[in-house]
Amino acid sequence: MRKTADVVIIGGGSLGCSTAYNLARFGVDKIVVLEKGYICGGSTGRCAAGIRQQWGTEMNCLISRYSIKHFEVMNEELAYDGDVEFIQNGYMMVTYSDAEAAMLKNNLILHKKLGIPVQFLSIEDVKEIVPAINTERIVASTICMEDGQANPFKVTDAYFRAAERMGVEFNTYTEVTGFQVQGGRIEKVITNQGEISAPVVINATGPYAKFISQMLGHELPVEPERHQIVVTEPLEPFLKPMLVNFHHKTYCQQVVNGSMLIGFGDADEPKGINYNCSWQFLKNLSEKIIEQIPIMKNVNIIRQWAGHYGISPDGQPVLGPVPEVEGYFLALGCGKGFMLSPMIGELIAQCVTGRETTLPIDILSIDRFKKGELIVEPAVV
Amino acid sequence: MSEKTIICRCEDLSVEEIRDWIDKGYRSFDEIKRISRIGMGACQGRTCRRHLVMELARASGKDPSEIDLATFRPPTKPINFGAIAGVDQDA
Ligand SMILES: Cc1cc2nc3c(=O)[nH]c(=O)nc-3n(C[C@H](O)[C@H](O)[C@H](O)COP(=O)(O)OP(=O)(O)OC[C@H]3O[C@@H](n4cnc5c(N)ncnc54)[C@H](O)[C@@H]3O)c2cc1C
């Protein structure tokens, strides 16, 4: 491990690897990534890997819109010798209530303004696109055919390999345990494998971000929240778009090999790190999915697992410098870090190197919580 | 076992492919599982698990008992949504 670096990135998930690549692209010389486990072993390797622009806040829409432009050319951009498996089969949003239908309508106005091609669907349209869906309770539905999915292991691997080729040093099984701070400024990062001097540290630890902040005496209101998910046996293709149901808070997606990935956000989930699986989740999920797609009752589940979102108070990313600690930056995707990783990496690299940022990331700075400038993302599951 | 022998039948992976990933620097069970999909299929690694452990042990010079396995997760055997929700399934 290097003894000194220009920038240390903590976390080897999609965000840490994308940030490393983008910093290298901007010519930063000594970049070191510290990862307590292995590359993509955190939330990124546990996520559903859906990629959508149909959000309810301008920044979430824009960061994902710009990110999709990168996903579309990612194999070439990163000169990857594999395939990141980016597919644009769309996201279909469905609601059972008038209130949620109003939210979809509001979002649609925003999408039109930003040039995101989202359409309202009639019940007949829904049936035509996915004949297996039970449309009985559906009040409104939208679709965006540019949305889709990618392979999270391959995306992270592509960023990791591109960054490594450009000279970034990756240290796996290296856990950050503390810092040396002098006069409000970061001087050293302390790990279980030794120390490293660096003037700039980027926290890209996803759900663990608040623990890194704690080591710096900084209070970060981003909480880890467990999210469970299941995968089924492979089926003949029958569900093209990712299906998001706001009533059930579920998402359901058929992936490349035919398996279904299905999960939901549990409003009662306590905050904290917890990798256990629960039977209650499986039972609730089964009821929710059978109501939506009745044929699913015959489908076998082969695995259930758990990962985490890092949840910010308004459901949007937290990006940029922390004013209280000089040299300390946040790169936190907050529940949608995978799909936003191409652009968050670029924006953070621009911010750290003093460049003009492609999008106005000040809006997403940590300051907004103190100032009370929250813009709450309504379209989450 | 030849290089072409399939060691993960669900995901159709040969010994050669697994050795390639090991050569590229993927050194733990979990890392190889995530990048290659070995053990992610319907049988959840019932056959390939042992073979992958042997390959990892060989590459690292460790004893197979020192190789960490991927986490075992529910369900132990595939089970359908209908059985869990308590609704009738089609025959
Ligand atoms: C079930 C589920 C479904 C999801 N679905 C989607 C989806 O469809 N689309 C989407 O975009 N997002 C989804 N997400 C969210 C997504 O997984 C995360 O937002 C994203 O992966 C975060 O990436 P990251 O790089 O910030 O964090 P991670 O991938 O978690 O990486 C952080 C890394 O930091 C390391 N680390 C932590 N502490 C330390 C330390 N002290 N020292 C060194 N290293 C440390 C960890 O080991 C980890 O590898 C889902 C999440 C879950 C759990």
pLDDT band at A92, cuts 50/70/90? very high
Work out the number of other CB atoms within 10 angstroms of the CB of residue A182: 9
How many A-B residue pairs are in contact by the CB < 8 A criterion? 79
Predicted pLDDT of residue B51: 93
Work out the number of other CB atoms within 10 angstroms of the CB of residue A370: 10
> Distance from A282 to chain B by nearest Cα, in Å?
7
Q: Which amino acid is at A89?
A: N
Angle at B39 (CA atoms; ends A304, B28), nearest 5 degrees: 100
Which residues are bridge partners to A9 per DSSP? Answer: A33, A202
Domains for chain A: give ranges and CATH numbers.
7-48+153-222+314-371 (3.50.50.60), 91-144+224-311 (3.30.9.10)
Predicted pLDDT of residue A146: 98
| Mean pLDDT (whole number) for A201-217 | 98
Cα-based distances in Å from B58 to A38, A200, B14, B55, B61: 20, 40, 16, 5, 5
Sign of the CA dihedral with A150 first, then A155, A157, and A162 last: positive
The answer to whether B23 faces chain A, any CB pair under 8 Å, is no
Residue among A11, A15, A135 nearest A63 (CA): A15
Cβ atoms A15, A128 nearer than 8 A: no
Predicted pLDDT of residue A149: 97
| Mean pLDDT (whole number) for A120-133 | 97
Query: Residue A301 is nearest to which of B35, B78, B87, comparing CB atoms?
Result: B78
Strands A260-264 and B6-8: unpaired
Looking at the predicted complex, does its ipTM rise above 0.95? no
| Average per-residue pLDDT for chain B | 92
Rounded distance from Cα A337 to ligand 1 centre (Å): 7
N-to-C CA span, chain A: 40
Q: What is the pLDDT of residues B38-87, one digit of tens each?
A: 999 988 998 899 999 999 999 999 999 999 988 889 998 899 999 999 99
Q: How far apart are CA B49 and CA A202, in angstroms?
A: 37
Cβ atoms B7, B46 nearer than 8 A: no
Strands B79-80 and A300-311: antiparallel
Q: What is the pLDDT of residues A60-80, one digit of tens each?
A: 999 999 999 999 999 999 999
Q: What is the pLDDT of residues A265-280, one digit of tens each?
A: 998 999 999 999 999 9
Predicted pLDDT of residue B88: 80
Q: Which residues of A touch B71 (CB under 8 A)?
A: 275, 305
Angle at A106 (CA atoms; ends A100, A107), nearest 5 degrees: 90
Rounded distance from Cα A222 to ligand 1 centre (Å): 13
Q: Which helix (H) or strand (E) holds A47?
A: none
Q: Give long-range contacts, CB 8 A cutoff, 24+ apart: A96-101.
A: A96/A137, A96/A138, A96/A139, A96/A245, A96/A246, A96/A247, A97/A139, A97/A246, A97/A247, A98/A139, A100/A139, A100/A140, A100/A246, A100/A247, A101/A139, A101/A140
**Whether residue A71 has its Cβ less than 6 Å from ligand 1:** no
| Mean pLDDT (whole number) for A145-151 | 97
Q: How far apart are CA A211 and CA B61, in angstroms?
A: 36
Q: What is the pLDDT of residues A100-110, one digit of tens each?
A: 999 999 999 99
Q: Is the pLDDT of residue B91 over 70?
A: no
| Average per-residue pLDDT for chain A | 97
Predicted pLDDT of residue A171: 98
Backbone angles phi, psi at A150, to 5 degrees: -150, 170
| Mean pLDDT (whole number) for A49-61 | 97
Strands A91-95 and A140-144: antiparallel
Could you please report the per-residue DSSP string of A83-145? ----B---EEEEESSHHHHHHHHHHHHHHHHHT--EEEE-HHHHHHH-TTS--TT--EEEEET
Structure tokens at A228: 């469970």
Rounded distance from Cα A44 to ligand 1 centre (Å): 4
Residue among A330, A329, A21 nearest A156 (CA): A21
Beta-carbon separation of A304 and B34 below 8 A: no
Query: Residue A305 is nearest to which of B42, B73, B82, comparing CB atoms?
Result: B73
Predicted pLDDT of residue A334: 94
| Mean pLDDT (whole number) for A50-58 | 97
Q: What percent of chain A has pLDDT over 70?
A: 100
Burial of B80 (0-12, 13-18, 19+ CB in 10 A): buried
Query: Residue B81 is nearest to which of A154, A279, A290, comparing CB atoms?
Result: A290
Predicted pLDDT of residue A255: 94
Domains for chain B: give ranges and CATH numbers.
6-73 (1.10.10.1100)
